[in-house]
Chains A and B, each alone.
Chain A
Amino acid sequence: MLEVKDLHVSIHGKTILDGLSLAVKPGEVAAIMGPNGSGKSTLSYVIAGKPGYEVTSGEVLLDGENLLDLPADERARKGVFLAFQYPIEIPGVATMTFLKASLNAQRRGRGEADLTTPEFMRRVREASQRLKVDQEMLRRPLNVGFSGGEKKRIEILQMTLLNPRFAVLDETDSGLDIDALRIVSEGVNALRDPTRGFLVITHYQRLLDHIKPDVVHVMAKGRIVASGGPELALELEKNGYRDYAVEAA
């Protein structure tokens, strides 16, 4: 469903992605692992449409449609979701308000009617209970003063409500203690289904203990340098990235 073809991306003239190709099938959870500076976050931003990245060549297709021509909000409406490594604070905007605004913006973008308030509340209650997000937190301004774990749970809460076709999780495990990691992972696992694709970006095996990937890709110097099954992640955990980093250089 997601195809990245020979993607070259630079910022201020510096090459970050250097001919990256990748495919994620419907229902598949693909993990990307790699050392710092290998371009993992850049990949997630380019898929989601963050301004400021210069795509010099290549394509990013979702169900055959090139996303690169679309602004970020249209990609979101087509079902692309990015769980941020560092979720952004929006002062003065209650989390609940933000959830409703984004959900209805996406619905309208797809020609659907706004959710009624009771229906919206029902969905929020259900999802937030599962993710152990209490109602008080939803009244607070989005991400302002939230702990690392709270921010990540709110990201997964948003993902649950927005119900995306394809989700990128950018180091969702960073800053999580073991309990929060389990709650977040369960939230992700609950969304696994045969039509949805996931790209899970992480440094560590420990997230993949909870979210079992179908495929593991190793990224170094802006390219995929190795692909394999879950066992590849275990091997990396043991031996580190050195071999791949050298190989790519």
Chain B
Amino acid sequence: MAAVQETVDRVRAIDVDAYKYGFVSAIESDVAPKGLNEGIVRFISAKKEEPEWLLAWRLDAYRRWLTMEEPKWARVDYPPIDFQDLHYFAAPKNAAGPRSLDDVDPELLRVYEKLGIPLVEQEILAGVEKPRVAVDAVFDSVSVATTFKAELAKAGVIFCSFSEAVHNHPELVKRYLGTVVPSTDNYYATLNSAVFSDGSFVYVPEGVRCPMELSTYFRINEKNTGQFERTLIIAEKGAYVSYLEGCTAPKRDENQLHAAVVELVALDDAEIKYSTVQNWYPGDAEGRGGIYNFVTKRGDCRGARSKISWTQVETGSAITWKYPSCILRGESSRGEFYSIAISNGRQQVDSGTKMIHLGRNTTSRIISKGVSAGRSQNTYRGQVSAHRLATGARNFTNCDSLLIGSECGAHTVPYIEAKNASAVIEHEATTSKVSEEQLFYCQQRGLSAEEATALIVNGFVRDVLQQLPMEFAVEAQKLIAISLEGSVG
């Protein structure tokens, strides 16, 4: 309960108009000129001193992108994006490679402090030996701080920025890059393939259980900078890794495009758990200035009995277009998707998952909790398909929506496709409202309307919160209350 109370205190402390994380830090950037053309793609690749094959891969994606059209099927509405009016590369100036925290720009450390990031990591940054979380901080586009690297190396785990991986482990990058999300996959993933800046790379060797949770905090900082993160996680046979991703962004007047790609590969008996707490700037009360989040996240259960589990808490962004998916290729592999998507104000969320059953006896589970408040629109869009050869495939989907107030919308769009008679697919869905009766009951016991709403919503999403690592769950509870701020009259 402490967390809920704390949440409420936090909610109270927040000025309605001032997005808590809306500040701009003053680290100088190395910025590419606005616009997108082959020259920019080459500039990015050259800046990062990439090998020829990667430049060729980028250029191929860029040429493909020119022939593609923006997807229009999502239930989101926004003015056309001028892709020539964005910067495609920005790197903090000191990025030439600080290898210890002493070398890290103190301004950056202050940014983290302002962000309240994350108590756990602050302790680590301060050298407190307690929880075992390794942080690979992606600040604007270049990783500038990596901790615990040595200990991970001892276990044989590679955890580094994507650029470092390109230089130090080119054979791994070459073998896996684009094998889950091909560079031709969709408009935004293809754009990302052409201009991706940096991201994280994780490789867990055969039989290794990663000794700590891996954590990356993404942050958008440069004015008008499209962010194109690229993350690749590979778990070899029998390996296990849990990866946490959390995001905040400073306030902006203009919309910011974010089009990340995350690829996960799990080989035989491997397990990858990927958790996200996303809290990007959602825009002002009229929806101006928020982040556009067009993300492609996909995991490939390539090996037999492998398992990939996505857990997400989505509270931010003006527009969210995101479907973390699993391709269940290996026999008896398993995919899971646990989601809390909260929208308030003018936010538009179109999110869900895809579970593609290709192998025999593959199983998947989808638990989605959507909470809409204000004048937001919140859509769950999910696909479950069982291939002709995926005999014995099983899926269970539970999709609940909660409405707060009468001006918001909740929509559920499931696509279900079974091509063999032995597949069993279940879909449950409910839509409910935070009722006057519930609010009155809680208030009669002394809870304020805000406290009551936070309590009811936290109850509604409990099944999913329980899937998060402990320290993340606490953060998530706070975020939930913060993002519902102002939703009760």
Contacts and interface: CB of A to CB of B under 8 A. Distances in A.
A102 B446 contact: yes
Q: Which of A52, A76, A103 has the most CB of B within 10 A?
A: A76
A42 interface: no
Contacts of B461: 92
Nearest to A84: B441
Given A97-B1, A101-B451, A90 B438 contact: yes
A48 B440 CA distance: 9
Interface stretch (A104-112, A129-137, A191-199): A104-112
Contacts of A89: 438
Q: Which of B4, B444, B458 has the most CB of A within 10 A?
A: B444
A30 B463 CA distance: 44
Contacts of A106: 445-446
A49 B449 CA distance: 13
Contacts of B438: 88-90
- B interface majority secondary structure: helix
A72 B443 contact: yes
A50 B462 CA distance: 28
A16 interface: no
A109 B443 contact: no
A34 to B, nearest CB: 22
Contact of B446 (A76, A92, A114): A76
B1 A101 contact: yes
A91 interface: yes
Nearest to A92: B459
A105 B437 CA distance: 19
Q: Which of A48, A52, A73, A91 has the most CB of B within 10 A?
A: A73
B459 A93 contact: yes
A141 B440 contact: no
Interface in B418-461: 435-438, 440-449, 451-452, 455-456, 458-461
Given A52-B436, A105-B448, A71 B443 contact: yes
B458 A88 contact: no
B459 A91 contact: yes
A72 B5 contact: no
A80 B440 CA distance: 13
Interface residues of B, number: 27
Given A88-B438, A104-B5, A162 B456 contact: no
Contacts of B442: 90, 98, 102
A89 B445 CA distance: 14
Interface string B281-311: 0000000000000000000000000000000
B436 A77 contact: no
A104 B447 CA distance: 9
B26 to A, nearest CB: 39
B448 A90 contact: no
Q: Which of A105, A114, A162 has the most CB of B within 10 A?
A: A105
A72 B440 contact: yes
Interface string A65-94: 000000111011100111010011111110
Given A92-B459, A105-B451, A48 B444 contact: yes
B100 to A, nearest CB: 41
A73 B436 CA distance: 14
B1 A100 contact: yes
Contacts of B444: 48-50, 72-73, 75-76, 80-82, 84
A73 B441 contact: no
Given A51-B440, A87-B441, A100-B1, A77 B446 contact: yes
B419 to A, nearest CB: 36
A120 B49 CA distance: 62
Nearest to A78: B446
Contacts of B441: 84, 87-88, 90
A49 B447 CA distance: 13
Contacts of A87: 441
Contact of A90 (B5, B451, B455, B463): B455
Interface string A33-55: 00000000000000011111000
Given A52-B436, A101-B5, A90 B459 contact: yes
Contacts of A91: 459-460
Q: Which of B435, B441, B446, B456 has the most CB of A within 10 A?
A: B446
A158 interface: yes
Contacts of A50: 440, 444
Contact of A93 (B436, B443, B458, B463): B458
A80 B443 CA distance: 11
A102 B447 contact: yes
Nearest to B457: A92
Nearest to A107: B446
A73 B456 contact: no
Nearest to A50: B440
Given A51-B436, A90-B441, A100-B1, A105 B446 contact: yes
A73 B441 CA distance: 9
Nearest to A80: B444
Contacts of A162: 445-446
B447 A101 contact: yes
B446 A141 contact: no
Interface string A150-171: 0000000010001000000000
Contacts of B436: 51-52
12 contacts: A52-B436, A73-B443, A73-B449, A82-B444, A88-B435, A90-B441, A90-B455, A90-B456, A90-B459, A101-B4, A102-B442, A104-B1
Interface of B: 1, 4-5, 435-438, 440-449, 451-452, 455-456, 458-463
Interface of A: 48-52, 71-73, 75-77, 80-82, 84, 87-93, 97-98, 100-106, 109, 114, 141, 158, 162
Given A73-B446, A92-B463, A141-B459, 5 more contacts: A49-B443, A73-B448, A98-B455, A100-B1, A105-B448
